[in-house]
Amino acid sequence: MKKTPPASTPGFATLGLDPRLVDALTALGYEEPTEIQAQAIPLLLEGRDLIGQAATGTGKTAAFALPLLQTLAKAERKRGAPGALILVPTRELAMQVAEAVHRYGRALGITALPVYGGAAMDGQLRALKRGVDVVVATPGRALDHIQRKSLKLDTLGTVVLDEADEMMDMGFAEDLDAILAATPVERQTVLFSATMAPRVSAIAAKYLRDPVRVNIAHERLSHTEAPRVRQEAYMVARAHKGAALSRVLDIEQPASAMIFCRTRTEVDELTESLTARGVRASSLHGGHNQAQRDRVMAAFRAKTVEVLVATDVAARGLDVKHVSHVINYDVPAAAESYVHRIGRTGRAGREGVAITFAEPREHRQLRLIESETRQKIIVKPVPTVADLRALRLEALQARLRDAIVEGQFEGMRTVVETLAGEFDIMDVAAAAVRLLAAPQSDDVEEIPDPKAPKPSKVRANAPGPRERLFIGGGRKLKIRPGDIVGAIVTHSSLDAKSLGSIVIQDRHSLIDVPAGSAQEVIDALQRTGIKGKKLLIRKDSKR
């Protein structure tokens, strides 16, 4: 797939953003501002304090980061002394937000540093000493640095509280109070929160000055706007989305599908990877000219292209009457856009399917769309390798049935007769089916469920020390190796390949596991038991 040269992004320019920032967004493949960005950016550029009610997935990070970067670039400041402090509830968010600030601000030469608890102090102290423009911190660690005087607040022009409700829920209220009280009086304060709990309103009332409110979770869509289609979602970590998508396409076998992505870059990358997996996919985004669009659309209508990967902007004016599947590769930033997208399926009384891939952190945005459309989106586990194999076997059975009815076995019968002299005829047939059903190379990897315990750093087949575990039950309780492996694989982050030898005795069993995961396995087995029985599990002392 040819990469298209970036076209200008007028939507962002009209918000009053510096051309260098607009260029950075264009290079990232953003086609137009999201709703929260369109509303918040001009107000923040004016220097107003702001309360934004928006969940993850709405584009809120860019909504506060872009104005902050622009202000920093303009201000006469001591280089390296922090001009902005962004407070976030978790380490993951600190890293993500710092990364976003870095990406947007690179062209302006603005630096960002994530500072969070649980990480070594040394590195953070050195980085702060060297100097940084934007500090993205969890409240506890920020306070630590303030007290050590490694984080100075006197040069701050902007303070952002991101996911304020989460910070309150995590017990950071006092820390936030202490931090905010120590910042300069002449500052811009911005607060983002998915909900407006009383404690969030209280901190806003105390520290924000005449704030404007921007709430994108307001209008309920009328009932008639939302079409009736099968609406499902898969919760999957970003790293596994591509694999999950091809699994779902395999299972759903869409006659014609539209896949929506947030950015041009994503559209191009996804189209490339789908094409590499043998899917007939084409891309459509704002960087394409009319002739390219016409060509792609003609191919889609003629069904030579079965999957169209598009941004919202590119899809807006399209005359597509019906697609069997609409797939949201990300949770859309607004319910309106969700409704527009899925409106392309389930038309004219035909059954339509809308599938949304959501990262765990976008859960709230998904629920918000559900409540605004007043329609249930069913969250399903990503189909497993076993599901896929079962489906393929079903399809194979159907093909065999057709072949049997069709007859024409000349030449084949001799093979069967020869083998039948040697083997059971049932085995001959089963072996033939196995050869036909040989799994394809792309479906051997299981896709982890993000709701399960965190993946361990121990990889399958990782060499390294093993630890022997003692399990207080064995043959007398009808425990077999498969029961132990099954319980461990289901309830811990280990896979079967990383387990060592298993010994089953009358009254106890032993299993070798990677030493680094021993405690995790013990905890998991104690919690869930084996074959429904709670058993004593401990490290084997005889070793």
Given the rule CB under 6 A, which of 29-37, 164-172, 214-222, 534-542 is the region that contacts ligand AMP?
29-37
CB of 268 to ligand AMP, least distance (A): 14
60 counts as binding ligand AMP under rule CB under 6 A: yes
39, 56, 70, 493: which one binds ligand AMP (CB under 6 A): 56
Backbone phi, psi, residue 47, to 5°: 95, 10
CB of 172 to ligand AMP, least distance (A): 20
Distance (Å, whole) CA 437 – CA 538: 42
61 counts as binding ligand AMP under rule CB under 6 A: yes
70 counts as binding ligand AMP under rule CB under 6 A: no
What are the tokens at 107?
A: 């062209």
| Helix boundaries (H) for 117-188 | 121-130, 139-147, 164-169, 173-181
114 counts as binding ligand AMP under rule CB under 6 A: no
**Which whole-number Å values give the CA distances from 185 to 46, 79, 111, 190, 207, in the listed order?**
18, 21, 24, 14, 9
Cα of first residue to Cα of last residue in the chain, in angstroms, is: 58
| Closest CB to ligand AMP among residues 37, 183 | 37
Give all strands of the β-sheet with 307-310 in edge-to-edge order.
281-284, 307-310, 257-260, 325-328, 353-358, 230-235, 378-380
CB of 436 to ligand AMP, least distance (A): 42
62 counts as binding ligand AMP under rule CB under 6 A: yes
57 counts as binding ligand AMP under rule CB under 6 A: yes
CB of 233 to ligand AMP, least distance (A): 16
Of residues 251-290, those binding ligand AMP (CB under 6 A): 262-263
15, 17, 18, 30: which one binds ligand AMP (CB under 6 A): 30
Given the rule CB under 6 A, which of 32-40, 168-176, 177-185, 456-464 is the region that contacts ligand AMP?
32-40
Given the rule CB under 6 A, which of 26-34, 215-223, 411-419, 462-470 is the region that contacts ligand AMP?
26-34
Ramachandran class of 171: left when φ > 0, alpha when ψ lies in -120 to 50, beta otherwise: left
Exposed e or buried b per residue across 1-18, where buried means at least 16 C-beta atoms within 10 angstroms of its C-beta: beebebeebebbbebebb
33 counts as binding ligand AMP under rule CB under 6 A: yes
| Closest CB to ligand AMP among residues 43, 535 | 43
CB of 469 to ligand AMP, least distance (A): 41
| Closest CB to ligand AMP among residues 44, 471 | 44
Helix crossing, 60-74 with 35-45: angle to 10°? 20
357 counts as binding ligand AMP under rule CB under 6 A: no
Q: Give DSSP secondary structure letters for 397-417.
A: HHHHHHHHHH---TTHHHHHH
81 exposure class (CB count in 10 Å sphere: 0-12, 13-18, 19+): middle
CB of 82 to ligand AMP, least distance (A): 21
| Closest CB to ligand AMP among residues 30, 116 | 30
508 counts as binding ligand AMP under rule CB under 6 A: no
- Convert 312-381 into a string of H (helix), E (strand) and C (coil): HHHHHCCCCCCECEEEECCCCCCHHHHHHHHCCECCCCCCCEEEEEECHHHHHHHHHHHHHHCCCCEEEC
246 counts as binding ligand AMP under rule CB under 6 A: no
| Closest CB to ligand AMP among residues 37, 356 | 37
Tokens 């590119």 appear where?
314
CB of 37 to ligand AMP, least distance (A): 6
CB of 74 to ligand AMP, least distance (A): 22
* Nearest residue to 543 via CA among 437, 466, 462: 466
CB of 313 to ligand AMP, least distance (A): 9
Size of the site for ligand AMP (CB under 6 A): 13
Distance (Å, whole) CA 333 – CA 262: 9
CB of 241 to ligand AMP, least distance (A): 12
CB of 22 to ligand AMP, least distance (A): 11
52 counts as binding ligand AMP under rule CB under 6 A: no
CB 332, CB 209: distance < 8 Å: no
Give Rg (Cα) of the chain.
Answer: 28
Given the rule CB under 6 A, which of 31-39, 44-52, 148-156, 346-354 is the region that contacts ligand AMP?
31-39
Backbone phi, psi, residue 54, to 5°: -160, 140
34 counts as binding ligand AMP under rule CB under 6 A: yes
Distance (Å, whole) CA 189 – CA 47: 9
CB of 289 to ligand AMP, least distance (A): 21
Distance (Å, whole) CA 447 – CA 428: 34
Given the rule CB under 6 A, which of 52-60, 135-143, 319-327, 503-511 is the region that contacts ligand AMP?
52-60
| Closest CB to ligand AMP among residues 62, 510 | 62
Distance (Å, whole) CA 295 – CA 361: 37
The residues that touch ligand AMP, with contacts defined as CB under 6 A, are 30, 33-34, 37, 56-62, 262-263
